[in-house]
A and B are shown apart, each in its own frame.
Chain A
């Protein structure tokens, strides 16, 4: 059975239930029950109308739950006037699903809760799958999701939301990578793709392009032993040219609308990297220009740090170090960038020290090992 297809029904079915008067939290529980039921029943007895089947089962579950709950007696009388097994009706437009994205990215939620709720309600993942992906116990994730549902249950379902918040949540999902049973990067791409059909916004397209362009390099980013392969050393023949072409097309269409945003600018930088046949042929001057745009749009110190690297490539290590000197040394990866630029400038002993120092500060194992190897490489080389 196509689990992805099944999951893609989730937000639509959930929206239909809410439209019929179910409160969000109860509707969401009912849809999850229906999903589990579908996984059990469909392999032997696939329905012709999958969405209709899901709506019927989920609605029945919702009614059962509402009936068994004495405190909801008032609501029971409300729904008893509804037909017992309602006709699923025509498939709702994609606009309905859009509201679900906004609800799940509601500003009153913490980013972690918004991510969990989006994966569950829009993505249709089970609590267990989400818990696995984030390496926490299922009970913990269940609580995180119920809290999130309680928080947004008071929010009006038809309120227009903030696209930027939704995009940030999807980007967080994408960035989480590949741990666990569910590939969160692919899931984020699927949800963003679905979002582009519901909303016409250049930054949504920008995020999709950015994700596709990064995803295209996935196979080349790690060696078989799991160690990081830096961009310049990646085997470009392993990049997924189909994804790159799609990302570039989407980006160009977005840029043509002349409403530049942060995500489009980031995607443009990714596209310039993807476009270079070799690392040496990278169009660094143009990348610096895009970083200038990004600095203008975000004023983020991390962007300025990345810009210093690009300047170092475009105008030489000295120019990069001069840019770096203007920034706060406590920025994440500052020391790693300093090490790289020192090495390019020929100061190998200082570079080795800085690589070792950067390794101490690395936030994850792959980066720490990578930086330790860089230090070791310079130290071994110099002692010979």
Chain B
């Protein structure tokens, strides 16, 4: 088994095929989308492939150290140019192919008009612990 991070982007990823901003969906379409995500997570828990999933607020900030005794520096109001992560899901699956299959299913979450979003998801493998036998 290997763990993969499925990343949903607010920005930075190519536009989804069904590219209508969420605030222009009907409330029922939003509910259907949210329900799809819940059902997906519940189903993966049932197959023993679910690890974690969280949604993130869109307003992130870049922060860095600015020297001894000084407050941290943030990057100011430039957030709109950044690649932003909307949320993630961590899965634990047998193969890379299975990770792709599940990511594709998640990408089919319904959007405007109840049609699949065809959203681009980023799939990143976790670095594992080293196996006992390497040499």
Q: Which residues of A contact B (CB under 8 A)?
A: 110-113, 116, 134-137, 139-141, 143-145, 147, 174-179, 185, 214-215, 218, 228, 230-231, 273, 362-368
What chain A residues lie within 8 Å of B24 (beta carbons)?
none
CB of B39 within 8 A of chain A? Answer: no
Given contacts A116-B48, A137-B52, A214-B132, 10 further A-B contacts (CB under 8 A): A112-B92, A113-B48, A136-B92, A139-B45, A140-B44, A147-B46, A175-B133, A230-B135, A365-B127, A368-B127
CB–CB A111/B94 < 8 A: yes
CB–CB A143/B45 < 8 A: yes
CB–CB A112/B48 < 8 A: yes
What chain A residues lie within 8 Å of B125 (beta carbons)?
363
Show 14 residue pairs from A and B whose CB-CB distance is below 8 angstroms, ordered by the A residue.
Answer: A112-B48, A134-B1, A135-B51, A136-B50, A136-B92, A140-B51, A143-B48, A177-B131, A177-B132, A215-B132, A218-B132, A228-B134, A230-B135, A364-B127
| Docked complex: B64-98 residues within 8 A CB-CB of A | 92, 94
Q: Which residues of B contact A (CB under 8 A)?
A: 1, 3, 44-52, 92, 94, 125, 127-135
Shortest beta-carbon distance from B56 to chain A in Å: 20
A-B contact count (CB 8 A): 82
CB–CB A141/B48 < 8 A: yes
Residue of A nearest to B90 (CB): A136
CB–CB A273/B135 < 8 A: yes
Interface SS of A by simple majority: helix
Q: How far is the CA of A143 from the CA of B128 in the complex (A)?
A: 22
What chain A residues lie within 8 Å of B131 (beta carbons)?
175-177, 364
Q: How far is the CA of A177 from the CA of B132 in the complex (A)?
A: 5
CB–CB B51/A137 < 8 A: yes
CB–CB A147/B50 < 8 A: no
8 A-B pairs with the lowest CB-CB distances in the bound complex, closest first: A144-B48, A112-B1, A366-B130, A231-B135, A365-B127, A364-B128, A175-B131, A364-B130
A111-B94, A134-B1, A140-B92 given; A177·B48 CB < 8 A: no
CB–CB B94/A364 < 8 A: no
CB–CB B1/A175 < 8 A: no
What chain A residues lie within 8 Å of B128 (beta carbons)?
363-364
CB–CB B94/A362 < 8 A: no
Residue of A nearest to B48 (CB): A144
Residue of A nearest to B52 (CB): A137
Q: How far is the CA of A135 from the CA of B94 in the complex (A)?
A: 15
What chain B residues lie within 8 Å of A135 (beta carbons)?
3, 51
What chain A residues lie within 8 Å of B45 (beta carbons)?
137, 139-140, 143
CB–CB B132/A174 < 8 A: yes
Residue of A nearest to B44 (CB): A140
Residue of A nearest to B50 (CB): A140
Shortest beta-carbon distance from A61 to chain B in Å: 24
What chain B residues lie within 8 Å of A365 (beta carbons)?
127, 129-130
CB–CB B47/A147 < 8 A: yes
Q: How far is the CA of A218 from the CA of B135 in the complex (A)?
A: 12
Q: How far is the CA of A366 from the CA of B134 in the complex (A)?
A: 11
What chain A residues lie within 8 Å of B51 (beta carbons)?
135-137, 140
A134-B1, A364-B128, A364-B130 given; A140·B49 CB < 8 A: yes
Shortest beta-carbon distance from B127 to chain A in Å: 5
Our pick among B46, B129, B134 for the contact of A179 (Cβ within 8 Å) is B129
Shortest beta-carbon distance from B4 to chain A in Å: 13
Residue of A nearest to B95 (CB): A110
A179-B129, A364-B127 given; A143·B47 CB < 8 A: yes
